[in-house]
Every structure is written in structure tokens, then in C-alpha cells.
Structure 1
Amino acid sequence: MSVKERVEELVLPILNDLGYELVEVTYQKQHDAMHLTIYIDTDKPGGVSLDDTELVANAIDKPLDDLDPTGGEAFVLNVSSPGLDRPLKTERDYLKKVGTEIEVALYAPIAGAKKHVGKLISYENGVISLETKDGELKIETKCIAVAKPYITF
């Protein structure tokens, strides 16, 4: 099992008990150190707060030490929210964004373009419905290279 897989297996039940969703675990070199980053999400209004990340970090710190997923190699532990522009990857991600504007980049053109922006109308059985300025598009998620919230400032 990889470091990432061992950590996911360890923290998933802890996060579930605390009421958080595990979005992703990454283990990679940044600057001159290895960083183990746990991305969490919540359905609470306002999303993940600094207090949430601190609570989770404290809850997983001792179990991580006991597990020693890196075999004694030092690492920096980070707990973070996934961010506003995090790509949509799972069914849950898409369902949470129904009714909002998203940007979709495709592997191959659909309706004459590889990029579409519109309101996510629905997600069902691996197919999204996107209301664009040119009308409604149905796109299979397997055709999507990247889908993410469309953010304007």
C-alpha cells in the first residue's frame, strides 16, 4: 500500500466521525520537504474554517504517528480545504454544484468546442446537463478533462 492509501484508510473513519468529508490525500515533495496534505470538506455554511483544519489536524496527529505511514521518513502535515476552484471529480462534487456556473474542458469537441461554461442543471448516471448561452448540452463525465466552478470577480 502507498503512503497515500494507508493515510486515506486511517483518516477516513476519523473524518466521518467528526462530520467531514475526505476530498483527497497528497504526499509530495514541496521545496525541500515531503508534505502530507489532507484535503477536507464540510456541508457547514461557510465551508471549512481554520478551526476545522485545526480540529482535524489534532484528531489525526497521534493516529498518524502510530501508523508511521512513511516508514520513519519526516514529513510536514497539512490539513486544508479543497479551495473554491477545486476540480469536480466525484458524483458528490457534481451534485453539490447543481444550480451553479461551471467551466468544462473536454478531451474532444462537443457542439463545436472543447470548452463550455454554463449552469450545471443536473448530474445523473455519469452525465451532466449544462445550460449554456447556446442551449442545453448533455456531456458524459468520461469526456470531461476538467470541470470546475466558474468564478468571476
Structure 2
Amino acid sequence: MGRNKGIEQKVWPLADKVGTELNLEVVEVEFVKEAGKYFLRIYIDKPEGVDLDDCQAFSERIGVLLDEEDPIPQAYYLEVSSPGVERPLKKLSDFERFAGREAQIKTFAAIDGQKQFKGKLLGVRDGQVVIDAGKGELQIPVEQIAKAHLTFDF
């Protein structure tokens, strides 16, 4: 496991605690190094969408917890935001919740000769994500999903 993944795993329960307190869903936690600086990014959401007040309240509360727990040994910048219109899909419940929406899914191994699928999410059936990528329904085993997110055509 990489160092950054270890930090993300330490921060996620703290973020979940704050999310629960504020009735917000933690969508993703990432710790990355960009241009020589470290960034802790936490993406939050709620059914009606998050606003600046949600991000500020979450940032203030998680900041206190991060100072108390001190899971990150180096200096970093904290960023809290919405996941955006191309929200990542991480949990089975995400694939159910966003059924009917367009999504892109990348798999670890080829399924029917391809590793990238774009189409309409149809939900979850028997523990597999179901998508209509233009050739009828395709079931993708959840353990084969490397990355998935909603898509939006501008």
C-alpha cells in the first residue's frame, strides 16, 4: 500500500464522522502531491447538492479533528468541495442511486473485448453493475471496476 493510500485510510473515518454529524456524505478522500505541495481533498455531497456553507462547516470541523489526531506527518493544504457533475461512483449504492444517468466505467480486465464503457446506468443486479452501453444490457462485476464516474455532455 502506498503512503498516500495509508493516509487516505486514516483520514476517511474522521471525514465520515464529520459527515455524519453534518448530514453529509463523504464521496472521496484523496491525498496527492502536486507541484511539490501536498493536498488533502475531501469531496462531500448530499441529495440536494452541497453549497459553500456546507463546505465551510465541514472544513472547519475536519480541520479540528485533523489537528487533534494528526494523521498526516507533513504540511498540506486542505480542500473540501462537491464532487461535481462528473461525480465518482464508488459504492454499490452509488450505482443504484444514479440509475438512469450516463456514466463511464473502466475495468481492470477486458469484458467482451473492451475495458471502457460509456452508457446509461441501469442499477445493480446480483452484485453486478448493469449498464446499457448501446449494445443492450451489460453486467460488470463490481470487483472488476477500476474507476467509474457520472458523465455530463456540455
Superposed pair shares fold, TM > 0.5: yes
Which residue of the partner structure matches residue 53 of structure 2?
51
* CA 77–116 in structure 1, closer or farther in 2 if over 3 Å, else same: closer
Q: Calculate the TM-score normalised by the size of structure 2.
A: 0.81
Which residue pairs with 1:14 in the alignment?
18
Alpha-carbon contact 2:30-2:41 (below 8 Å) kept = yes
1:84-95 → structure 2 map (5 Å cutoff) = 84-95=85-96
Over 3 Å counting, the alpha-carbon distance change for 1:125 and 1:32 in structure 2 is same
Q: Per-residue deviation at 1:52? A: 1.2
2:150 maps to 149
Q: Deviations over 1:28-71 (max 9, x none)?
A: 2222322112121211x2x1222211110112222221222224
Once residues 146 and 34 of structure 1 are traced to their aligned partners in structure 2, the CA distance between those partners, rounded to angstroms, is: 23
Q: Distance in 1 between the 2:124 and 2:35 partners?
A: 39
For residues 148 and 64 of structure 1, the distance between their equivalents in structure 2, rounded to whole angstroms, comes to 28
- Secondary structure of 1:12's aligned partner: helix
Q: What runs of 5+ residues in structure 2 fail to find an aligned partner?
A: none
Query: Alignment length, in residue pairs?
Result: 149
CA distance in 2, matches of 1:88, 1:42: 14
Which whole-Å CA distance do the structure 2 matches of 1:140 and 1:113 have between them? 14
Q: 1: distance between equivalents of 2:20 and 2:72?
A: 23
Identity of aligned pairs, percent?
Answer: 35
Question: Which structure: larger Rg?
Answer: 1
What is the aligned partner in structure 2 of residue 82 from structure 1? 83
Matched letter for residue 61 of structure 1: G
Task: State the superposition RMSD in angstroms.
Answer: 2.2
Question: 5 Å matches for 1:2-41?
Answer: 2-41=6-45
Where do 5+ consecutive residues of structure 1 fail to align? none
Partner of 1:115: 116
With the length of structure 1 as denominator, give the TM-score of the two structures.
0.82
